[in-house]
Each structure stands twice: as C-alpha cells, then as structure tokens.
Amino acid sequence: MAGKKREIQLQAVINNQSLWDEMLQNKGLTVIDVYQAWCGPCKAMQTLFRKLKTELNEDEILHFVVAEANSIATLQPFRDNCEPIFLFSVYHEITFVDSDTEDAGEAFNENVDQLYSIAIIKPEAVITGKTIKIKEKIISAGFVIQAEDKRVLTENQVRDFYSQIADEPDFEDFVTLMTTGISYILVVSQDNKQEPPCEETVSNPENKEPKETSEDQHEMATPTVMRKKWDSLQEYLERQNISQFCDVEENTTNVNKFIDIFFPDFKSISKLEKTLALLRPDLFQEKKEDVFNIIQDEGFKILMQREIVLSEEEAKTLCKEYENEDYFGNLIENMTSGPSLALVLLRENGLQHWKELIGPSTVEEAKERLLESLCIQFATKSFPINQLYGSDSLEAAEMEIQYFFPPQNTLALIKPHATHEQREEIFSIIKEAGFDITQMKEILLTKEQADKIYFKITNKDFYKDVLEILSEGPSVVMILTKWNAVSEWRRLMGPTDPEEAKLLSPDSIRAKFGITVLKNCVHGSSNIQEAMETINRIFEEFVPENSEEH
C-alpha cells in the first residue's frame, strides 16, 4: 500500500477536460504521460521520474501527471496510439510593467542585476598578453561579453570596487598597482541561447540488465541527460585557475552601480558590428562614388579603407564559391588585373545589414528573389557575379579585417600640461578614430625614461626644455594599435606647432589643446622602427595581443 501511495503522489491523475485545463496552469514544467485506457501509464518511466523529483526537489516548478486520452477532448489526436507519448507543458507567469509608473525603472534594474556581472582584467594580465585568452575562456564557457572598455582606473574607482579588501595590510600597494596600468572592464552575462554543460546519466544506477517489460508496460530506453546549473562567472574563473588575473563583482546592488560608472550609456548601447566589404576591380574603377553614397545613406561608418591588388592566391580564396564555374579562370585574371577596394564598415547589426544590402553571390539568384539588391544595381556584363563582397560571419569578418588591415603599434604620449578633462576628450578622439589603446600607463617621466622616448633629440640644445616640461607632472604613455597606426596617429596629432595646426589641421589634437611648440599636448613616434624601439624600452614586459596571429 505504501508503494501505491507514493505513485499517486508522484503523478497526478487527469481524467477529464476540466482537470486538464486546470493542470495547464501549473507553474514551471509539467511532464504528461498520455495513456490509453486499454494500456495504462508507462510504468518503466516512473523510477526515473521519482529519481528526478527526489534529486531536484522542485515541487513548485516540476510536475508529473498521467492523462487518459479517451476522456480528454484535447487529446483526441493521440487516441488509439500504441506507442508511448509524453507531452510537456511549460507555464511562465509574465509581469508587465507600465513604463510610465515610478516602478518601471526599478523593475528594469532588477532584471539587469539578475543578468550581468562586472569583471576587471588586471593590468598585470593585460601587459603580459593574457587578455584575449581570458576573454576566449569566458565566451567558450557560455558567457556573453555585452560591453568592454579599457582604461586606467582612478584611485577612487579601485577603492570603491575593492572596498571588501580595504582592511588588508597591502591594500595601498594594490591600489598603486591597479592605477598605474590599463585594465579591461567587462559587462558579462550568461548566454540564454546556450544550455549549461551536461552530464549523461542512466536511470538504472545499479547497471543491472533491464528486465523484460510486462504487457502493460511500454518499452522505452531510460538513459537521460541531466543538466548542471550554471557556474557563476567567479566560480568558473576559479576552476580555470585564472581568477588571480580577473576580479568579478556579482552583488546585485554593486553591479548596477559599476555599470553606471563604467558604462553610463550601457542600456542604450546598439549592437555595433564590423564587417569587411570589398569592391571588385571593375566596380571600383567605374562606380566607387555611387557605392560610397549608398554606404553613407545606409548609416555605415567607414573605419578603414585601402586599395589592394590581389595576388592569385588571395583572389582564389575570395572567389572560392565560383571555382566550379566555366568563367573561374577569367574571373581570377580579372581580380588580379587591377586594384580592388577593401573597406571596414561599422554599423548596428552591420554584418547582416551589409549582406542583405548587397544580395546573393550571383546575378541569377538575385534576379529570382532580390531585384533591389546592389548585386543587380551594379551588375556588369563581364561576369555574372556580385561585384561586392561581405564577410559571412563575425568570426570571418575579424579574420579578414586582420588580414587586409594588419594591425600596427605606435607609441603615443599625452604631456603633463593636459588637464584631466582634455585627457578624457583625447581618449574619445583616439577611440573614434578607430585606434585600440592596447597598453597605457601614467608615469612621471625621469630623464632616463624620457631619453627612451626622445632618444633622437637627446643631443639637441632644446632637449633640456623638453625635460623641464615633462617634469611638471605625470604623463600618459600609450601603445596605440591600428592598421597604419604610425602615420594615422601623426595625422591625428597634427603639425608640431599648434598655431600652424590651427591653420592646416584645425580638427587635430594639437590644434585643439596645444599651447606652444613644447606644450603641444601630445607626442608620437615618427616611423615604425622608432615606434617598436620605444615600445620595447618603455613597456619591456609588453606582449602584443596579436603576436600569435602575426
């Protein structure tokens, strides 16, 4: 009798439409064993259900029922079926919030608290080139990096974020360490589209041979997959032995506070994406301006562009999808006959929008379904293919951009007389110009350190005046990374004399913030060799993040 009682408690009996409708209001997941009156419920599964019920202990969100098909109108399609049938009902109560009420903002913030964590990758990890590997591990574990930024943390920011360890004896040294180098700040969430790691379990834990089922039992294999709960980000980093390089804040109140501090526009950030675009030689020579006008009208920003004559190998790689066509040989000859134009485009959902805009890879396919595409608009008589190219995925875009626009490092310096507000504005100008601040530190330059940066002019008479300017306070020394970084940074700085800069390059940094030739706000390397020598001297422990790829 006791065994029979447990079975009744495990699976509720649904034998009419009214009970069925009531059952559908169960919160959470309801597992329904649909049975025929002449056969009965599946007894082979009851052991597994009882095991799940015991292990999960979630009475309010996990339910098991048996339902007779002949007595419930909804189950009419399943009547007279001799195979085991299991249905699943999921009910989730949704609360709608009126955006005009005072509680709307609080409801949004509560949702943010549940979803996001703040992670800080420390300067020691950044300077030794561990950032990419840490981010890759975070992503591979099913987390999503929703936003990221690189900056030198202020003393107040460090004290605030690490307030829980403020009483430790070496805390002041820690604050100094955290404020003298660049850190990565990440907003991280769990990927709701990806399930947590799983382990396969078998409902027959004693590994006994399965018994023959009786006539009133359905034959059914009982292996199942049990999913673990998600690790928190902190737990995952600890298991990967990288928590010493990355600190995490997951406290509900603090997460919101630090998002507001580090990412004040986070709630309205668009999903900006980069993609590689390429104009084939014929289109580039004949209708480049028309394409540029469309790019601008569609809201894209051109981050980088360059003319490039493709090698035969490069052309074959880009045109691989046409390799079985009769015209493939002539196409490769055309692709290598003159310059193509490679572009890096940025826009909200940029990759998908560009692919939709240019259309299919062949004119024939475009005529069938996308007559308004650029493939049709810019079709040529020479080849029946799309004269425009776009990356197929974000991963492909990143690789293709790296290939066609190989990153270059240059050394940049913001001089002591620049105010804090001017520094922040210069950082914004740098980022808007497409530079990546790969490394940064704030230091009071000694003569020995200044000699490493200005080694070409140490024997000049005016060098003592340079040293005097640099001794007035701390300078910000940076490694800036971008394709053609040396010349691009020199263009962004403008002429050495601020007065000349105001005439020749009024939007340059020196035109905006420079005072005199010596107090012209910023400095940069003159060529790539000088840049590499200076970087190696100032950032001796620096490991380029792209060292493996290049």
- Residues belonging to the binding site for ATP are 415, 462, 490, 496, 510, 520
Instruction: Of 440, 527, 524, give the one whose Cα is nearest residue 489.
Output: 524
Tokens of 500: 């000349």
Helix, strand or coil, per DSSP, at residue 459: coil
Q: Going by DSSP bridges, is the β-strand pair 340-348/408-414 parallel, antiparallel, or unpaired?
A: unpaired
494 residue type, one letter: G
CA angle 402, 146, 133 (to 5 degrees): 50
Burial profile 187-208: b = 16 or more Cβ within 10 angstroms, e = fewer: bbbbeeeeeeeeeeeebeeeee
Report how far apart, in Å, the C-alpha atoms of 343 and of each of 9, 213, 405, 427, 474 are: 66, 67, 9, 24, 38
Helix, strand or coil, per DSSP, at residue 354: helix
- The torsion of the CA quartet 444, 446, 452, 455, rounded to 10 degrees, works out to 120
Do residues 534 and 485 touch, judged by C-beta distance below 8 A? Answer: no
* Residue 260 DSSP code: H
Residue that has been written with the tokens 């700085």 in this structure: 493
The Cα–Cα gap between 402 and 163 comes to: 40
Helix, strand or coil, per DSSP, at residue 66: strand
Tell me if residue 420 is catalytic: no
The Cα–Cα gap between 364 and 357 comes to: 16
Helix, strand or coil, per DSSP, at residue 426: helix
CA atoms lying within 13 Å on the CB side of residue 393 = 3
The Cα–Cα gap between 445 and 458 comes to: 14
499 residue type, one letter: E
The Cα–Cα gap between 260 and 257 comes to: 5
The Cα–Cα gap between 530 and 525 comes to: 6
CA angle 349, 544, 476 (to 5 degrees): 90
Tokens of 519: 């107090």
Catalytic sites, residue numbers = 523
